[in-house]
Chains A and B, each alone.
Chain A
Amino acid sequence: MRPLTEEETRVMFEKIAKYIGENLQLLVDRPDGTYCFRLHNERVYYVSEKILKLAANISGDKLVSLGTCFGKFTKTHRFRLHITALDYLAPYAKYKVWIKPGAEQSFLYGNHVLKSGLGRITENTSQYQGVVVYSMADIPLKFLK
């Protein structure tokens, strides 16, 4: 387990910023505690300082996970964001898409959404923008590019 290097932090921030933009600094600098990113076995975990101190007592090969896994670095050092990060991306998302209840189930099973299944969408969303998909009851479902 180790902190991220400059290069790795930059790559990760660029990826996350596609979905939440400047709100990323709210993740880095939180009023209710010190949270940090740590790398363990090529995966990035977002963990509070308290839990980090506890996790430091576990040996590296026995430690499976800590805090929330945001994603992992692939072999070629690209960052792949995982679905476990959704809870932290959803509140800060800049561009949101709401899906009608009828299309929601099909979407969750991996199918595409037709235009008729689209409920609402934030305005000024450009093409190929990173968005967070919600259901009509404002439950975050996925994040997509």
Chain B
Amino acid sequence: MEGQSVEELLAKAERDEAEKLQRITVHKELELEFDLGNLLASDRNPPTGLRHAGPTQEAELRALARDNTQLLINQLWQLPTDRVEEALVARLPEPTTRLPREKPVPRPRPLTRWQQFARLKGIRPKKKTNLVWDEGSGQWRRRWGYQRARDDTKEWLIEVPGNADPMEDQFAKRIQAKKERVAKNELNRLRNLARAHKRQLPSAAGLHPTGHQSKEELGRAVQVAKVSTASVGRFQERLPKEKAPRVSGKKRKFQPLFGDFAAEKKSQLEMLRIMNSKKPQLDVTRATNKQMREEDQEEAAKRRKMSQKGKRKGGRQGPGGKRKGGPPSQGGTRKGGPPSQGGTRKGGPPSQGGKRKGGLGGKMNSGRPGLSGKRKGGQHQGGKRRK
């Protein structure tokens, strides 16, 4: 009995062994191709069992996958291993399959200005040595960069040239020149980049004064100039009829919904005050212009009447004499009037503007010569000139 059980056990062990082996070893007609760098196994065996195209392929597919994976792992076990922090790691070889490009091929960059020039002239880069002998320090130094051989900004003695201002700081001048060269280089580099990507430098938009700029370019230049202040154009004054610049690009920022109510009220009242204070001044100018026009029409009518009377009486002297006396006195009263009231006019209430004397300060003197030119008769002009 026990012997039988022992035999049974042994047989069972053997069977288990065989099963295991069977599981591990997989028989394939064609060997698989392995790319262990990518953990890839390619099976070229024809899939004969899977041609039925029925719904019950699941088990066969699964078996196939298991077999192929088993083969791949068998291969992995044969690789040289490392021990990394208590874990056994297989060292994968280099991948042999070439993966396709992720992104498209880069376009050839346009040549920079120097490259174009060099190509045109046939200039080739000369091979230069890295180190140069520096006499001053008595050692080999690099051609450019940190602690270079001939750094003219580091000299301790500079002779002032004959034609230069003796008070000028030559050291500062050299440092300034260096800074300018660096800035110029940077600008050229950015320009080359912009040309390569066919984009405009933000500072260059419309800012090349050629004398033939279009209206849009000038507008753009004005916009850029307006924004190029320390407060980014926030406190720039506008011309009387110029519209506020449209905020472009970034999102508009509004006041918060429950801001300070008192402050809001105050600013609104202030705005109202300004609006109300501005209103009367326009009315004053309008009223005075209207008044002056009426007066001039009256005077024109009067003069025409007087000239007719003069013709009838005969001789230019009479009317001329009369006219001599007439206009100066009128002009005198008028000219005497405004200066005293001109000072009060602008600040005063609107009612003052309606009155005659108050309004004539600014416009009257300029109005006179033009009006005299409009007189119909030559006699009138003669009368004026005689004065």
Pick from A1, A28, A56 the residue with the most CB of B within 10 Å: A28
Whether B265 contacts A29 by the Cβ 8 Å rule is: yes
Contact B269 A29 (CB under 8 A): yes
Interface of A is mostly: helix
Contact present for B271 and A2 (CB under 8 Å):
no
- A36: CB under 8 A from chain B? yes
Contact (Cβ within 8 A) A52 B258: yes
Contact B255 A2 (CB under 8 A): yes
By a CB distance below 8 angstroms, the chain A residues around B256 are: 3
Q: Determine the chain B residues whose CB is within 8 A of the CB of A22 once the complex forms.
A: 272, 276
Interface residue B244 (Cβ < 8 Å from any Cβ of A): yes
22 A/B residue pairs, CB under 8 Å, sorted by A: A1-B257, A2-B257, A3-B254, A3-B256, A3-B257, A3-B259, A6-B267, A13-B272, A13-B275, A14-B275, A17-B272, A22-B272, A25-B269, A28-B269, A28-B272, A29-B265, A34-B265, A36-B264, A36-B265, A38-B257, A53-B258, A56-B258
Is the CB of B268 closer than 8 A to any CB of chain A?
yes
Given contacts A17-B275, A36-B261, A49-B261, contact A3 B269 (CB under 8 A): no
Interface contact A2-B254, CB-CB below 8 Å: yes
Q: Is A7 an interface residue (CB 8 A)?
A: yes
Residues of A contacting B244 in the complex (Cβ-Cβ under 8 angstroms): 7
Chain A CB within 10 A, most for which of B255, B264, B265, B268: B268
Give A7 to B254 CA distance when docked, in angstroms: 12
User: Which range holds the interface residue count of chain B?
Assistant: 10 to 19
Contact call A56/B272, Cβ cutoff below 8 A: no
Residues of A within 8 Å of B259, CB to CB, are: 3
How far does the Cβ of B351 sit from chain A's closest Cβ, in whole Å? 12
A14 to B152, CA, bound (A): 67
Collect the chain A residues with CB atoms within 8 Å of residue B269's CB. Answer: 25, 28-29
Asked whether any CB of chain B lies closer than 8 Å to the CB of A9, the reply is yes
Chain A: CB-nearest residue to B256:
A3
Q: Which 6 A-B pairs have the closest CB atoms?
A: A2-B254, A3-B255, A34-B261, A28-B268, A25-B272, A22-B276
Q: How large is the interface on A (under 10, 10 to 19, 20 to 34, 35 or more residues)?
A: 20 to 34
A37 to chain B, nearest CB (A): 8
Chain B residue, CB-CB nearest to A28:
B268
* B43 CB → nearest A CB, Å: 58
Fill in one digit per residue for B234-269: 1 if any A CB lies within 8 Å of its CB, else 0. 000000000010000000001111110100110111
* Inter-chain contacts of B264 with A (CB < 8 A): 3, 36
The CA of A28 and the CA of B273, in the complex, are separated in Å by 12
A5 at the interface (CB under 8 A from B): yes
Chain A residue numbers with a CB within 8 Å of B272 are 13, 17, 22, 24-25, 28
CB-CB nearest in chain A for B244: A7
* Cβ proximity bits A36-73 to B, threshold 8 Å, 1 near / 0 not: 10100000000001001100100000000000000000
Question: Please, what's the 1-or-0 string for B220-245, where 1 marks a CB less than 8 Å from any CB in chain A?
Answer: 00000000000000000000000010
- Bitwise, B273-293 to A at CB < 8 A (1) or not (0) is 001100000000000000000
Chain A residues contacting B267 (CB-CB under 8 Å) are: 6
List chain B residues, Cβ under 8 A from A56: 257-258
Contact A28 B265 (CB under 8 A): yes
The one of A10, A38, A49, A53 that contacts B271, using a Cβ cutoff of 8 Å: A10
| Bound: A140/B248 CA distance, A | 44
Q: How far is the CA of A10 from the CA of B271 in the complex (A)?
A: 7
Q: How long is the Cα–Cα vector from A131 to B302 in the complex, in angstroms?
A: 42
Q: Which residue of B lies closest to A30 (CB)?
A: B265
C-alpha gap A29/B266 in the complex (Å):
9
Q: How far is the CB of A115 from chain B (nearest CB, A)?
A: 27
A9 near B271: Cβ-Cβ < 8 Å = yes
| Residues in B neighbouring A38, C-beta threshold 8 A | 257
What residues on B are CB-neighbors of A52 within 8 Å?
257-258
A34 and B261 CA atoms in complex are apart in Å by: 8
Of all chain A residues, the one with the shortest Cβ separation from B243 is A7
How far does the Cβ of A116 sit from chain B's closest Cβ, in whole Å?
32
